[in-house]
């Protein structure tokens, strides 16, 4: 090394030390309450308004200060110590070795094939142009809102994707990005599970990963879809580095942190894939039991490290309002086992209720073929392989819901259950790989039913949107006739009951009950703020009315008031005293 290079290296190290000391001083200072108080006051002065969820932000700065200290110390270890620099060089070399072994050009045709399949699958969803739940607020107000759920990657990636911190509706661009990530995920999943062999049949077998009915709800979100699919891709990428321990651990921790910071419902994907890979190696004796257990131990270690970092340093409470439909708190240690078992039971009940008979039969047949193939292809004792494959199916089903089992009040909406789609994809890919034609036909026929359902669902969204806007138009017409000159701030509106589904959806629900969970009504009473945002603000029925009509701000329930009926029609009844207005919706 030349003298100039040595001097340059010393200068860089000096800068690192100085910046690290300044960073540590700043982070340690934030740990003190009065410093955080000063920061919050300064932010309020800059924004010229009080900060929503003040206490949540106040405590969040404490966690972020700890995060900063942790990463500064880790960075200093990697750059200032010999052992740290050696570790970094080893990881870099292992990553290069892994990447050099992959023929990325072989991914091109499979990628474009799956991109075509997925784009065709969500064609009717894109055509419906449906503002789905949070989309209503984001399109009208332009806010992001992922930060409150500790989805930092989603928060900052959205600024890049929308080319502005104020979001606007740029659909279908987000869905196109979602299909891009899903296509890569399917190709990589087949590549990893298929021993680096990618075939058309295996790619088609992976369709449930992106078009399983549960995940259609995720794809319905115009603003959230790309980040939800990115969490899936992040859970798969580490297995490209499976041959080198250090590279695998590093990529796993980084990728799992990205997954947690985009959409935590994918938390079970990583372990689910790891378990399937271990079973394949065990069943055919590709590796010794010691090697398999070592790999599973490394994967579990990386998973626990990533989730521990996220939990300790990065998780922040979304606020008390979020506890109404989901919880971020976990079961206390004494009740942990019973709570997990209860959640597993609830998860199984929900999935069973949501699946139609055709899907149940198809899934059962795929499971039977999985067990049969495992036994026939096994290098172990047949009886042992039989029971192990059954155990694997049960374990995989459990892992598909991820860490949500730990929560005291997990979310059982379709958008949080899409891990079942990965579970089914893994079984289908395994079944269609070098096995009987009847098994391939059954697996692909099941996936075809999911593909067709996606078209029905997208058209159902469009039909419900038309029906909802008709009902809203009727309601706003009656309200404007009743109160043509009423000042905005003197009348508050509450909704009771909800409109019914459009006739086409009622027809679909006879055979596919899940459709009623997936299609969002957009006009109903209760505590969902998007109902009020849509029918008041989206149709420009007074700006002040919107803020004063959100359920969280209702001082009283208008149903407890003896309000006179001022209008009764086929579609709704309006009760009002001129200040309070209760709209009773009729089916």
275-284, 351-360, 390-399, 527-536: lowest mean pLDDT where?
Answer: 527-536
- Please check whether residues 144 and 75 belong to one and the same domain: no
Helix, strand, coil abundance in the chain, percent, nearest 5 = 70, 5, 25
Residue 516 lies in a domain: yes
Q: Which two tokens stand for residue 65?
A: 């200060």
Nearest Cα residue to 124 out of 223, 227, 220, 226 = 220
pLDDT value, residue 47: 64
| pLDDT tens for each residue of 388-428 | 999 999 999 999 999 999 888 888 999 999 999 999 999 99
Per the structure, how many domains does the chain have? 3
Spatial distance between the Cα atoms of 213 and 450, rounded to a whole number of angstroms = 7
Nearest Cα residue to 131 out of 540, 546, 538 = 538
- Please check whether residues 158 and 203 belong to one and the same domain: yes
- Please check whether residues 49 and 193 belong to one and the same domain: no
Nearest Cα residue to 550 out of 535, 566, 562 = 535
| Residue with tokens 């149903």, as numbered in its chain | 559
Residue 412 lies in a domain: yes
Residue 369 lies in a domain: yes
pLDDT band at 299 (very low <50, low <70, confident <90, very high): very high
pLDDT value, residue 57: 62
Out of 401, 435, 469, a domain closes at 435
Q: Summarize the confidence of residues 452-480 as an average pLDDT.
A: 93
Q: Which two tokens stand for residue 27?
A: 């982070």
- Please check whether residues 264 and 125 belong to one and the same domain: yes
Residue 449 lies in a domain: no
Contact status, residue 552 vs residue 562, Cβ threshold 8 Å: no
Out of 47, 80, 113, a domain closes at 80
- Please check whether residues 295 and 353 belong to one and the same domain: yes
Helix (H, G, I), strand (E, B) or coil at 119: helix
Contact status, residue 428 vs residue 208, Cβ threshold 8 Å: yes
Q: Which two tokens stand for residue 116?
A: 């075509």
Mean pLDDT, rounded, of the chain:
87
| pLDDT tens for each residue of 151-185 | 889 988 999 999 988 899 999 999 999 999 999 99
Q: Which two tokens stand for residue 61?
A: 């700065």
| pLDDT tens for each residue of 308-329 | 988 888 777 665 555 566 667 7
Question: Do you know the residue count of the chain?
Answer: 587
Q: Is the pLDDT of residue 18 over 50?
A: yes
pLDDT value, residue 449: 95
| pLDDT tens for each residue of 235-259 | 999 999 998 999 999 999 999 999 9
pLDDT value, residue 548: 46
pLDDT value, residue 508: 93
pLDDT value, residue 396: 95
Neighbours of 325 (CB within 10 A): 12
Q: Is the pLDDT of residue 451 over 60?
A: yes
Nearest Cα residue to 84 out of 93, 94, 75, 72 = 75
Residue 98 lies in a domain: no
List beta partners, residue 124: none
Residue 21 lies in a domain: yes
pLDDT value, residue 318: 62
CA distances from 269 to 28, 273, 285, 420, 423 (A): 36, 6, 24, 10, 8
Q: Summarize the confidence of residues 339-366 as an average pLDDT.
A: 94
Contact status, residue 203 vs residue 114, Cβ threshold 8 Å: yes
- Please check whether residues 228 and 349 belong to one and the same domain: yes
pLDDT value, residue 59: 65
Domain extent at residue 41: 3-80
- Please check whether residues 190 and 303 belong to one and the same domain: yes
Spatial distance between the Cα atoms of 482 and 474, rounded to a whole number of angstroms = 12
Spatial distance between the Cα atoms of 545 and 32, rounded to a whole number of angstroms = 41
| pLDDT tens for each residue of 22-62 | 888 888 887 777 777 777 777 767 766 666 555 556 666 77
Contact status, residue 94 vs residue 244, Cβ threshold 8 Å: yes
pLDDT value, residue 562: 87
CA distances from 587 to 273, 503, 533 (A): 45, 11, 21
pLDDT value, residue 552: 47
**pTM reported for the whole predicted model:** 0.91
Out of 24, 45, 80, a domain closes at 80
- Please check whether residues 156 and 116 belong to one and the same domain: yes
Residue 100 lies in a domain: no
CA distances from 74 to 95, 103, 153 (A): 20, 34, 21
- Please check whether residues 549 and 475 belong to one and the same domain: yes
- Please check whether residues 267 and 409 belong to one and the same domain: yes
| pLDDT tens for each residue of 194-223 | 888 999 999 999 999 999 999 999 999 999
- Please check whether residues 366 and 399 belong to one and the same domain: yes
- Please check whether residues 515 and 580 belong to one and the same domain: yes
pLDDT band at 117 (very low <50, low <70, confident <90, very high): very high
Question: To the nearest whole percent, how much of the chain has pLDDT over 90?
Answer: 55
| pLDDT tens for each residue of 514-527 | 999 999 888 887 66
Nearest Cα residue to 447 out of 424, 423, 431 = 424
The DSSP symbol for 222 reads T
């Amino acid at each position: 090394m030349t003298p100039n290079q040595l001097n340059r290296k010393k200068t860089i190290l000096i800068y690192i030390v100085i910046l690290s000391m300044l960073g540590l001083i700043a982070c340690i200072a934030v740990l003190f309450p009065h410093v955080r108080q000063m920061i919050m006051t300064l932010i309020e002065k800059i924004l010229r308004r009080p900060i929503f969820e003040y206490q949540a932000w106040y405590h969040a700065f404490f966690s972020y200060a700890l995060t900063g200290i942790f990463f500064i110390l880790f960075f200093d270890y990697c750059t200032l110590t010999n052992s740290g620099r050696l570790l970094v060089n080893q990881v870099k070399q292992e990553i290069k070795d892994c990447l050099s072994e992959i023929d990325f050009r072989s991914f091109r045709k499979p990628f474009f094939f799956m991109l075509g399949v997925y784009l065709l699958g969500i064609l009717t969803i894109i055509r419906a142009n449906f503002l789905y739940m949070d989309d209503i607020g984001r399109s009208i107000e332009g806010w992001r809102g992922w930060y409150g759920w500790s989805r930092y990657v989603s928060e900052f990636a959205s600024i890049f994707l929308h080319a502005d911190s104020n979001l606007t509706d740029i659909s279908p661009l987000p869905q196109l990005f979602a299909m891009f990530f899903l296509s890569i995920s399917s190709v990589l999943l087949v590549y990893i599970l298929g021993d680096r062999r990618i075939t058309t049949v295996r790619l088609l077998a992976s369709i449930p990963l992106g078009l399983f009915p549960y995940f259609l709800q995720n794809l319905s979100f115009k603003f959230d879809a790309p980040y939800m699919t990115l969490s899936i891709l992040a859970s798969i990428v580490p297995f490209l580095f499976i041959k080198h321990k250090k590279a695998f651990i590093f990529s796993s921790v980084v990728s799992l942190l990205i997954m947690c910071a985009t959409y935590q419902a994918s938390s079970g994907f990583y372990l689910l894939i790891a378990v399937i890979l271990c079973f394949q190696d065990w069943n055919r004796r590709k590796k010794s039991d010691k090697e398999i257990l070592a790999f599973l131990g490394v994967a579990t270690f990386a998973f626990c490290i990533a989730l521990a970092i996220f939990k300790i340093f990065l998780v922040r409470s979304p606020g008390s309002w979020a506890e109404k439909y989901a919880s971020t708190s976990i079961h206390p240690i004494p009740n942990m086992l019973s709570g997990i078992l209860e959640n597993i039971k609830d998860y199984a009940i929900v999935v069973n209720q949501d699946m139609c008979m055709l899907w149940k039969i198809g899934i059962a047949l795929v499971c039977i073929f999985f067990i049969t193939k495992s036994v026939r292809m096994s290098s172990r004792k047949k009886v042992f392989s039989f029971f192990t494959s059954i155990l694997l199916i049960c374990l995989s089903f459990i892992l598909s819901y991820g860490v949500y089992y730990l929560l005291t009040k997990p979310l059982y909406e379709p958008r949080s259950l899409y891990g079942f789609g990965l579970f089914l994809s893994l079984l289908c890919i395994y079944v269609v790989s070098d096995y009987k034609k009847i098994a391939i036909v059954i697996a692909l026929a099941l996936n075809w039913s999911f593909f067709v359902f996606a078209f029905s669902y997208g058209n159902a969204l469009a039909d419900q949107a038309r029906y909802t806007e008709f009902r809203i138009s009727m309601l706003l017409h009656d309200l404007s006739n009743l109160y043509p000159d009423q000042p905005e701030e003197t009348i508050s509106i509450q909704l009771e009951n909800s409109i019914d589904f459009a006739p086409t959806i009622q027809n679909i629900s006879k055979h596919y009950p899940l459709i009623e969970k997936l299609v969002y009504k957009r006009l109903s009473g209760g505590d969902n703020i998007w109902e009020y945002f849509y029918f008041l603000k989206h149709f420009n029925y007074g700006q002040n009315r919107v803020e004063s009509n959100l359920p969280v701000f209702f001082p009283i329930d208008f149903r407890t008031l003896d309000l006179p009926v001022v209008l009764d029609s086929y579609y709704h009844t309006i009760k009002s005293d001129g200040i309070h207005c209760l709209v009773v919706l009729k089916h």
